[in-house]
Structure 1
Amino acid sequence: MKVRRGRRQQAEAGTGVQDVASGFAVELRGVRRQYGRGAGVVQALAGVDLALPRGSFTAVMGPSGSGKSTFLQCAAGLDRPSAGSVRLGGTEITGMSENKLTELRRSRLGFVFQAFNLLPSLTVEQNVLLPMRLAGQRQDRRRAAEVLAQVGLADKARRRPGELSGGQQQRVAVARALITRPDVVFADEPTGALDTGTAAEVLGLLRHAVRELGATVVMVTHDPSAAAWADSVLFLAEGRFADRLDHGSAEQIAARMTALTGRGVMAGAAA
């Protein structure tokens, strides 16, 4: 099944790899990723074509084993595809050296993970500034204060992560992801460890980053309620994008997942 697209998306997807002026933040062309060899080969991605415009919020869903994690890793340059091309912010990353990939991730990408991944020995401010430090940039404390204010933690800069609630820690992770004004923020189950109310607060921050800051967010999630915050939901099945839903409600997204997998999904699993 092909992903359902409007005329504009079809025209953009059919023009081949775009240059930096195209307005695309993330582009995958013919991306395949397989593991193993011979009879034991696993085709995690089986030919993915995708072009996401700058300033968009996209959710990626699919049943277990559909290729969601592999998609995110290949799109973010954390894993190399077996075939195909990946471009981020107009830059071809497929053949980059590990050193250049690391530099690109630190300076032009942001990451938000389910487990927060904050360093417990550092203060909130130091955790937020860590991408700048690792990239060899001047650690701009004024910028750190700015993003902490954006996530509602202006008064927590001197605290340690262990002194914060789970929701506050995830807010710190969002601030850290935004500190370098990245081309793309990749979020991997960012609400998986949060209760429903706190999850909505974090998703609201990602939505704000797109709407007010011009960020591009790509979020992998199992939760239809979380996916409903996105502009578009892409559904993966057996390593391919099998469907698309724009501006869908949680109920519509859950129904589309049910139709895709032939079994129910937990519409209320806003863990």
Structure 2
Amino acid sequence: MGLRNRRRKQRTAGYAAPASADAGHPAGDWAVELRGVSRQYGRGSNAVHALRGIDLALPRGSFTAVMGPSGSGKSTFLQCAAGLDRPTAGSVRLGGTEITGMNENKLTALRRSRLGFVFQAFNLLPSLTVEQNVLLPLRLAGRRPDRRAAADVLAQVGLDAHAKRRPGQLSGGQQQRVAIARALVTRPDVVFADEPTGALDTGTAAEVLALLRRAVDTVSATVVMVTHDPTAASFADRVLFLADGSLADHLVRPSAEQIAERMSALTARARRTGVPTMPLPPHHPMAGAAA
């Protein structure tokens, strides 16, 4: 067995429910922990139960994909796990730090210094150079910009020669590479990726996913990615499936074909049981995007 496969086997063996984490691992060994996390919007007959008692612990240095039918709660899961939305019940720990009761100022500081984000829309500032975009998280966190760190992460994504260019001079795939470099520059506890390849063609998407995979394999990054694409999910160590706000299934190191088959079964089950998709309320952080 090759070194990469051994590492992946070790990482996937570490996935557990929080009860198992208590028994076998100190809290600090886990990159992400969700205990009994529920998220409800509204009350009474108009209530939307976006998440229903999620229990999950993800080890450091792992790549997890989250999938599910439309309205299953994928984006709400990411928002709660990343501290961008607060659960109605339960608790969330990131890198061993309890974030559920944090005030907004402390939570913002934690996100800036210990989390990385990659979105479908890249979210680069057009007036800044590639290097300046990469260094932005350090500036926002009140840390001294480290040009060597920027050069290192740009080299990791193959854009070290483009540091002085602006986003408008780059292709879509190159812009997403800059976004990945920006997410990695603070050496975060977790990188959260929301449909990172949704705006890219198939070949470019594969290159971007390979970069995320390489960050996990070579620098022990932890990646949690929401996606609807079975091919994208096949780059992960484990794929988690949500249905009606609950964890419905998982696969370890699956192929794209296995993922697509499982997704088809979940979608068919939702149709048979008449479970409706869950529209997001207007105030939800991801309103207008697929849940």
Q: TM-score, normalised by structure 1?
A: 0.92
Shift of residue 185 of structure 1? 0.2
Contact 1:124 1:157 in 2 (8 A): yes
In structure 1, the residue matched to 2:122 is 116
Output the amino acid matched with 1:165.
Answer: S
In structure 2, the residue matched to 1:269 is none
Contact 1:112 1:173 in 2 (8 A): yes
Q: 1:122 to 1:15 in 2, by over 3 A?
A: closer
Q: Distance in 1 between matches of 2:17 and 2:123?
A: 39
- Runs of 5+ unmatched residues, structure 1: 1-5, 264-271
Output the amino acid matched with 1:67.
Answer: G
Q: Distance in 1 between matches of 2:101 and 2:26?
A: 17
In structure 1, the residue matched to 2:70 is 64
Q: Distance in 2 between matches of 1:245 and 1:186?
A: 20
In structure 2, the residue matched to 1:92 is 98
Within the candidate set 129, 150, 163, 2:156 is matched to 150
Q: Distance in 1 between matches of 2:249 and 2:87?
A: 22
Q: Distance in 2 between matches of 1:12 and 1:85?
A: 11
Contact 1:33 1:82 in 2 (8 A): yes
Aligned residue-pair number:
258
Within the candidate set 30, 55, 58, 1:52 is matched to 58
Shift of residue 13 of structure 1? 3.7
Q: 1:150 to 1:234 in 2, by over 3 A?
A: same
Q: 1:120 to 1:255 in 2, by over 3 A?
A: same
Q: Deviations over 1:178-210 (max 9, x none)?
A: 000000000000000000100011000000110
Q: Distance in 2 between matches of 1:20 and 1:47?
A: 20
Output the amino acid matched with 1:87.
Answer: R
* Percent of matched pairs sharing the same residue: 77
Shift of residue 38 of structure 1? 1.4
Q: Distance in 1 between matches of 2:153 and 2:27?
A: 27
In structure 1, the residue matched to 2:248 is 242
Determine whether 1:29 maps to 2:29: no
Q: Deviations over 1:54-102 (max 9, x none)?
A: 0000000001100000000000000000000100000000000100000
Shift of residue 261 of structure 1? 1.3
Contact 1:13 1:50 in 2 (8 A): no
Q: Distance in 1 between matches of 2:17 and 2:41?
A: 32
Within the candidate set 202, 212, 221, 1:215 is matched to 221
Q: Distance in 2 between matches of 1:158 and 1:59?
A: 33
Alignment of 1:144-223 (within 5 A): 144-223=150-229
- Could you say what the CA RMSD is over the residues aligned between the two structures, in angstroms? 1.8
Q: Distance in 1 between matches of 2:49 and 2:160?
A: 46
Q: TM-score, normalised by structure 2?
A: 0.85
Q: Distance in 2 between matches of 1:12 and 1:97?
A: 24
Q: Deviations over 1:88-128 (max 9, x none)?
A: 00000000010000000000000000000000010000000
Q: 1:7 to 1:204 in 2, by over 3 A?
A: closer
Shift of residue 20 of structure 1? 3.8
Output the amino acid matched with 1:68.
Answer: K
Q: 1:162 to 1:48 in 2, by over 3 A?
A: same
Determine whether 1:130 maps to 2:132: no
Q: 1:15 to 1:164 in 2, by over 3 A?
A: closer
Output the amino acid matched with 1:174.
Answer: I
Q: Distance in 2 between matches of 1:79 and 1:200?
A: 30
Shift of residue 37 of structure 1? 1.3
Q: Distance in 1 between matches of 2:57 and 2:41?
A: 25
Specify the SS of the correspondent of 2:224.
strand
In structure 1, the residue matched to 2:273 is none
Give runs of ≥4 in structure 1 deviating > 2 Å: 6-21
Q: 1:10 to 1:97 in 2, by over 3 A?
A: closer
Output the amino acid matched with 2:75.
Answer: S
In structure 2, the residue matched to 1:141 is 147
Q: Distance in 2 between matches of 1:96 and 1:163?
A: 40
Output the amino acid matched with 2:141.
Answer: A
